[in-house]
A and B are shown apart, each in its own frame.
Chain A
Amino acid sequence: GAGVSQSPSNKVTEKGKDVELRCDPISGHTALYWYRQSLGQGLEFLIYFQGNSAPDKSGLPSDRFSAERTGGSVSTLTIQRTQQEDSAVYLCASSISRGGNQPQHFGDGTRLSIL
């Protein structure tokens, strides 16, 4: 497709379960970003990939969060032992390069609800 694709669009799971969120960036975009949008915290940066590598993971809120990107394309964000405070919309964005002047294009997000 032409835009950033995220799946699933909605995910409801029980506290303590692991979840995996997927992002398929725009073809040819080398930079990929994960953000989280929640009522209390607004839009927060989580992690950035340039190609397959993530030089800085300090935005991840805890060690239960991890992310990987393979083949310079699809990325997965994994949350282990989910907690209720993990409930949020997880947004993925991609840009053609890592330059700050490059606009980031966002997917529709995954709405995660932890019961």
Chain B
Amino acid sequence: AQKVTQAQTEISVVEKEDVTLDCVYETRDTTYYLFWYKQPPSGELVFLIRRNSFDEQNEISGRYSWNFQKSTSSFNFTITASQVVDSAVYFCALSEASHGNAGNMLTFGGGTRLMVKP
């Protein structure tokens, strides 16, 4: 069965610090997709990034970067020079290509609450 673990339940940093959110996943599928979502205090889940299992290239988008390593089944998310507006709960999620009748349901980790203090 698929599983996503975010070991850090809560992280507190001071503005401008770099912070890395960890995500470890388990799946038997060879083709799968990994996602990060942000949930600000307003509650809406906002899609940040998708990564395919066959593409281990790291990705950078502004202050955000993602490190995907199949060897350790990890998909970590780094925010550089954090800002107060980055305060939110961040979820890592996994979708398997072959999930049959459940479509491509997302299996979420427990989330990491990030608090960025001024």
Residues of chain A whose beta carbon lies under 8 Å from any beta carbon of chain B:
31, 33, 35, 42-43, 45, 48, 50, 55-56, 58-59, 89, 91, 93, 95, 98-109
Most interface-central of B43, B107, B109 (chain A CB within 10 A): B43
Q: Count B-side interface residues using an 8 Å CB cutoff.
A: 30
- Tell me if B73 is interfacial: C-beta within 8 Å of chain A: no
Q: Is the CB of A100 within 8 A of B108?
A: no
B82 interface residue, CB < 8 Å from A? no
B45: which A residues are within 8 A, CB to CB? 91, 93, 106
User: Are B108's CB and A43's CB within 8 A?
Assistant: yes
When the two chains form the complex, which single residue of B47, B99, B107, B110 contacts A104, counting CB atoms closer than 8 Å? Answer: B47
> Of B32, B33, B106, B110, which is within 8 A of A45 by CB?
B106
Question: Which residues does chain A contribute within 8 Å of B50, judged by CB atoms?
Answer: 101, 103
Contacts between the two chains (Cβ within 8 Å), count? 72
Q: Is the CB of B95 within 8 A of A100?
A: yes
Report if A107-B104 is in contact (Cβ < 8 Å); known contacts: A42-B111, A100-B95: no
Among all A-B residue pairs, the 5 with the closest Cβ atoms: A55-B101, A56-B101, A48-B103, A100-B104, A106-B45
Residue contact A42 to B110, C-beta cutoff 8 Å = yes
Q: Are B104 and A99 in contact (CB under 8 A)?
A: yes
Q: A103 to B47, Cβ gap below 8 A? A: yes
Q: Which single member of B52, B91, B100, B105 contacts A33 (CB below 8 Å)?
A: B105
